[in-house]
Structure formats: structure tokens, C-alpha cells
Amino acid sequence: MIIRKATKNDMPSVLELIQELATFEKEPDAVVVTVADLIRDGFSENPLFQCFVAEVDGDPSQSEQAKQIIGMALYYYRYSTWKGKTIHLEDLIVKENKRGTGAGFALYKEIIKQGKAENVRRIEWNVLDWNTPAIDFYEKSGAKVLGDWRVVHMDDKGIERFLIED
């Protein structure tokens, strides 16, 4: 297995992983992003995200490609008024049938190495409160799961409603 930066050609596999994560998180119909969106947003002159993929040798008799992407970690840089440059890990996912292979740990470690290389003062991400295996893993790795902060977001419908009512 190798961990490497994603390329445009990896985006169909990345989208499959995003859809698998949405299903795992009980939101199978929530993904609206497309391969074209991922290519545009991740590989333009000013990319909105970066991505690492975990790649293994595949079975050449099963497809024309001898390599298979089994996991990904998608992240982007943010700026904290308290800390300065930070990384936000948006998603880290490994195919269900490839969990336990070390791919998730390798991707997690690569994100942390990236943060160190970029001199960020914080790496942050969200975890669902019912995902206790992930929470346990993060806490054992030295991360702090903050119980006193709430994630707030406004979706496209909320944005539209707000602007109409304003």
C-alpha cells in the first residue's frame, strides 16, 4: 500500500468513497458533488482542497487497472484567529472491506505529517457522537474530542431562506 497525493484521475474513486461514507453516516442521498466538481475544485489554479489516497495493487484480471484506491483523506487549510494556519480534515474513509488493513491509520498519519510540514498549529475535524470506535481511536492518538462545542452549518436551502427573509 502506498499513500500519495490524489490526481484528477482519482476523483471517480474519491467520489465513490465519499458516497460510501455518506451511507455509513446514514445520509446516503446527501451527496450532490460530482466528479466534475471535485476536479474543478481540487485541481484549479487555487484549489479548494487537497487529498491523499491509499492505493494497493489490484487484481489485473478484474479490471484494466492494476491499482485500486481503497481510502482517502480530503483536507483544506483554514485560518484561526487564535492559532493562525490550521488544517481541516473534511473526510477520512476506507472502503468497508479494506478496514483493518492499516490504510486508515496511514492516511491519518499522513495528514498529521502534512500539518507538521506546513507548521500548522491545529488540525481539526468532526466526528459523529455515535461513532465510538473513531472517537476512541482519536483520543488514544492524542486528539481531544471537544464536548462543549457544537457544529453549526447552514445548507443551501437555509441560505436561500435567510436571504429571502432578510
pLDDT in tens, 102-133: 999 999 999 999 999 999 999 999 999 999 99
Encode 25-53: b = buried (16+ Cβ within 10 Å), e = exposed: eeeeeeeeeeeeebbeebeeeeeebbbbb
Using a pLDDT cut of 70, give the percent of the chain over it: 95
Q: Please state the rounded mean pLDDT for residues 55-72.
A: 79
Per the annotation, the verdict on 77 as an active-site residue is no
Instruction: Decide if 118 contacts 96 (C-beta within 8 A).
Output: no
Q: Which amino acid is residue 116, in one-letter code?
A: K
Model confidence at 57, pLDDT cuts 50, 70, 90, reads: confident
Three-state SS at 53: strand
Catalytic residue among 76, 77, 108, 138: 138
3-state secondary structure of 35: helix
Looking at residue 74, what is its pLDDT?
A: 98
Q: What is the CA radius of gyration of the chain?
A: 17
- DSSP letters, 57-97, are E--TTTSS-SEEEEEEEEEEEEEETTTEEEEEEEEEEE-GG
pLDDT at 22 over 90: yes
Q: What long-range pairs does 82-85 form, CB within 8 A, spacing at least 24?
A: 83/121, 83/122, 84/120, 84/121, 85/118, 85/119, 85/120, 85/121
